[in-house]
A and B are shown apart, each in its own frame.
Chain A
Amino acid sequence: MKEIMAIVRMKKTGATKKALIAAGVAGFTAVKVLGRGNLVTDPGAIEECKEKLLSMGLDEFTEAGDTEKLVTSFLDGSRFFPRRLFTILAHDDDVPRIIGAITSANRTEYGIGDGTIFVMPVADAVRVRTGEAGEAAIW
């Protein structure tokens, strides 16, 4: 029995839910969270991202300095971004399949910020409706 905690982009909630059903897992719990990841050490990736964001943020109403300040604060690693935290209980054998499904649904071309999956052991689980415990309580 394992608990899978997956942190994904807000936009990818629907895709993750679909991928989980395709993988044969219907039950999950999701929470809105704020998160940040490891610092990006590759300056090339940051530079590329910065240019893209700057081109998106510039219009006739905003000043270039303000946009640059905002974009820099987005990329320096200290800001928290909204993410969705999925908690899924699974049998040991199903874990690789679920991880594969979540990974393929959530990968983007950006290369950073796609989220993380943690797999943790679970001591016991009980279904409230029937009172059955252990592996039978998962699904």
Chain B
Amino acid sequence: MLLIRAIVRPEKKDEVLAGLSSAGFNAATMVDVVGRGKQKGIKIGGMVYDEIPKTLILMVIPEDAKDKVIQMILSIAKTGNEGTFGDGKIFVSPVDEVYTISKGTPGL
């Protein structure tokens, strides 16, 4: 099992989640977050905005689905052909165990 943490633009989240749902990955959790990246925020005039709103999508998926999910998020969350600063990031971390509370058994 792998935990996918994807930070995407808030205006792209519906599109990303709809795409993942149609590919069979319906389960997801999302949180509104603020953050900045390598570019140290956005500078507009004299003001620097370093708390840019983003949406954090959390998903736990089987290991063999990793490439599919990542490619899907990458292709949908990108803006323009080349991509733009601020499109977000994807982090992947291992998950040892998963339990579904309503069933009370291990597994997704």
Residues of chain A at the chain B interface (Cβ within 8 Å): 2, 5, 7-8, 31-39, 77-78, 80, 83, 85, 95, 99, 102-103, 106-108, 110-121
Interface contact A80-B101, CB-CB below 8 Å: no
Task: State the 8 A-B residue pairs at the shortest beta-carbon distance, nearest first.
Answer: A35-B29, A114-B102, A114-B101, A119-B97, A117-B99, A119-B96, A115-B101, A106-B101
Interface contact A119-B27, CB-CB below 8 Å: no
Max chain A CB contacts within 10 Å: which of B95, B96, B101, B108?
Answer: B101
Interface contact B99-A83, CB-CB below 8 Å: no
Max chain A CB contacts within 10 Å: which of B29, B98, B108?
Answer: B29
Interface contact B95-A120, CB-CB below 8 Å: yes
Interface contact A112-B95, CB-CB below 8 Å: no
Max chain A CB contacts within 10 Å: which of B31, B94, B99, B108?
Answer: B99
Residues of chain B at the chain A interface (Cβ within 8 Å): 1, 3, 18, 21, 26-31, 58, 60, 93-102, 104, 108
Instruction: Classify the secondary structure of B's interface with A.
Output: strand
Residue of A nearest to B29 (CB): A35
Q: A35 to B60, alpha carbons, bound, how many Å?
A: 12
Max chain A CB contacts within 10 Å: which of B3, B28, B95, B97?
Answer: B97
Q: A95 to B99, alpha carbons, bound, how many Å?
A: 12
Q: Provide the residues of chain A in CB contact with B108, threshold 8 Å.
A: 38, 116
Closest Cβ of chain B: how far from A53's Cβ, in Å?
17
Interface contact A107-B101, CB-CB below 8 Å: yes
Interface contact B94-A117, CB-CB below 8 Å: no
Interface contact B27-A120, CB-CB below 8 Å: no
Tell which of A8, A111, A120 touches B94, judged by Cβ atoms closer than 8 Å.
A120
Closest Cβ of chain A: how far from B106's Cβ, in Å?
9
Q: A2 to B98, alpha carbons, bound, how many Å?
A: 13
Interface contact B98-A111, CB-CB below 8 Å: no
Q: A83 to B94, alpha carbons, bound, how many Å?
A: 23
Interface contact A36-B28, CB-CB below 8 Å: yes
Q: Provide the residues of chain B in CB contact with A95, threshold 8 Å.
A: 97
Q: A106 to B100, alpha carbons, bound, how many Å?
A: 11
Tell which of A39, A77, A80, A118 touches B95, judged by Cβ atoms closer than 8 Å.
A118
Closest Cβ of chain B: how far from A73's Cβ, in Å?
14
Do A116 and B98 form a contact, CB below 8 Å, given A78-B21, A103-B104? yes
Do A8 and B101 form a contact, CB below 8 Å, given A2-B96, A119-B95? yes
